[in-house]
Amino acid sequence: MFASGSTIISGFEAERLSMPACPSRSELEAVFRIERPRLIAALMRHSRDVSVVEDVVQDALLKASMVWSSNGIPHNPGGWLFAVARNRFIDRVRHSRMADQKLVDLTHYIELTRPASLSAANEAVAFPEVGDDILALMFITCHSKLSRDSRVTLTLRLVGGLTVDEIARAFQTSVSAIEQRIVRAKRELVSQGVSRVLPEQGERDARLESVMEVIYLIYNEGYAATAGPTLTRPALCSEGLRLGRMLAHIKPEEPEVLGLLALMELQCSRLLARQDRQGLPVPLDRQDRGLWDRLLIRRGLEIVERACRLSPPTGWYLLQALISACHARATSFRDTNWREILARYDALFLLSPTYVVALNRAVAVSWAMNPAAGMAVLRAIRDEWNVESYPLFHATRADFLSRLGLYDEAATAYRAAAVLSTNIPQQLFLAMRAEQCQEAFARGSA
């Protein structure tokens, strides 16, 4: 079922129930937000240049703003927009002075201008799904040759469809800072020669990994903000989840894709419980489990199960998801299956023998066995790596010391952690713990 006159993009066949003329600004924006990524993804089949495609799409949206405000939103807004954007694009290609006209572009240009029925057959063979287009777009925005900032910003803007305003708010930074990042990102795309070339079989895993990495970065920045006045940035968690769900729908046969999504669903289920009224962090052993989001937990557990049916749990994300699942299943902190958690950390450490994994594993040791055993692991970590400037090391050490009743040393360690921490609520929490330990010590020696 192909609408006449348009090339075949399955996403644009959706008809909508008719609207009165004079839609409001926010109604228009809702349509644009849905269509923008799909348009960009579809047009990227025909172009090497994301900037050109973005401009062309922006033009189409602008035209829609004007026309639809008086005529109402059409029945097939995506089809309308695509037709306008495509025509704009053809105009630009025709008038382009760029010597850079590779044969590939011309071929696609010819495809674009061919009558619908012919190009329909070709398109259907090469790119049957809007999902494939979105994935191809993700491969571009998440390309490993780009800087981390560029990858995150481009992905949120082009794939997530967020406005520059929304991205700025999500990162608690200024609009101009984000605009600069986008400019830089586009420059990098050009200088690094990143374009929509479908990866060879061997490359596909690496490409998928870079996409997962970016989604994880976005979610992680939302779950535990590295700096700034709040512990979490829920908007980023939502976006990470949304991108993860998109990816899992496009690539449901990939255990790590499912693992990443499960990890995010499970971790995000604790967002509310993770902070107290003052915005300070609440550790897992003190969290009100009644605040855990049961829908997300359910979804996470189901996805983890599906992933484990696809493959033995040896992947980076799936292992972490399994750890998170252990916590999710425990009715109270006491019921946590630390043995299983420790086993998963052992496997994680084999995959990635870093001090971050080692530290998290040490925490598991301290609960599966006892804090003294945990301290032994910390000594080994200190011998193996230089962790003196790493706040988590001192905070973990402080926690073990306080559980051992060694409050004086615990207070010192908490203070060391607080000084190194870059996140304000974290800092305040660590300082508060230092005080509590100091008081406990004073009471003990009184």
Residues that bind other proteins (CB under 8 A): 10-11, 13-17, 19, 26-27, 29-31, 33-34, 130-131, 134, 238, 241-246, 249-250, 272, 288-295, 298-299, 301-302, 331
Token pair 């019921």: residue: 335
Rounded to a whole number of angstroms, the minimum distance from the CB of residue 120 to other proteins is 17
Rounded to a whole number of angstroms, the minimum distance from the CB of residue 165 to other proteins is 13
Rounded to a whole number of angstroms, the minimum distance from the CB of residue 92 to other proteins is 28
Q: Which sign, positive or negative, has the C-alpha torsion 161, 163, 166, 171? A: positive
Rounded to a whole number of angstroms, the minimum distance from the CB of residue 260 to other proteins is 13
Q: What's the token pair of residue 33?
A: 């937000």
- Comparison of 185 and 264: residue with beta carbon closer to other proteins: 264
Taking the C-alpha atoms of residue 421 and residue 219, their distance in angstroms, rounded to an integer, is 20
The distance in angstroms from the start CA to the end CA of the chain is: 83
- Comparison of 329 and 403: residue with beta carbon closer to other proteins: 329
- Comparison of 41 and 420: residue with beta carbon closer to other proteins: 41
Rounded to a whole number of angstroms, the minimum distance from the CB of residue 287 to other proteins is 11
Taking the C-alpha atoms of residue 87 and residue 28, their distance in angstroms, rounded to an integer, is 21
Taking the C-alpha atoms of residue 164 and residue 177, their distance in angstroms, rounded to an integer, is 10
Torsion angle of the four alpha carbons 118, 121, 122, 125, in this order, in degrees rounded to the nearest 10: 180
Taking the C-alpha atoms of residue 294 and residue 270, their distance in angstroms, rounded to an integer, is 10
- Comparison of 73 and 225: residue with beta carbon closer to other proteins: 73
Rounded to a whole number of angstroms, the minimum distance from the CB of residue 43 to other proteins is 17
Rounded to a whole number of angstroms, the minimum distance from the CB of residue 119 to other proteins is 21
- Comparison of 75 and 187: residue with beta carbon closer to other proteins: 75
Rounded to a whole number of angstroms, the minimum distance from the CB of residue 428 to other proteins is 21
Taking the C-alpha atoms of residue 156 and residue 164, their distance in angstroms, rounded to an integer, is 9
- Comparison of 20 and 115: residue with beta carbon closer to other proteins: 20
- Comparison of 55 and 213: residue with beta carbon closer to other proteins: 213
Phi, psi dihedrals of residue 228, rounded to the nearest 5° = 100, 180
Taking the C-alpha atoms of residue 235 and residue 239, their distance in angstroms, rounded to an integer, is 6
Token pair 């023998």: residue: 353
Rounded to a whole number of angstroms, the minimum distance from the CB of residue 331 to other proteins is 6
- Comparison of 87 and 220: residue with beta carbon closer to other proteins: 220
- Comparison of 134 and 154: residue with beta carbon closer to other proteins: 134
- Comparison of 131 and 228: residue with beta carbon closer to other proteins: 131
CA 111 to chain centre: 34
Rounded to a whole number of angstroms, the minimum distance from the CB of residue 9 to other proteins is 12
- Comparison of 295 and 446: residue with beta carbon closer to other proteins: 295
CB–CB of 424/228 below 8 Å?
A: yes
Rounded to a whole number of angstroms, the minimum distance from the CB of residue 29 to other proteins is 7
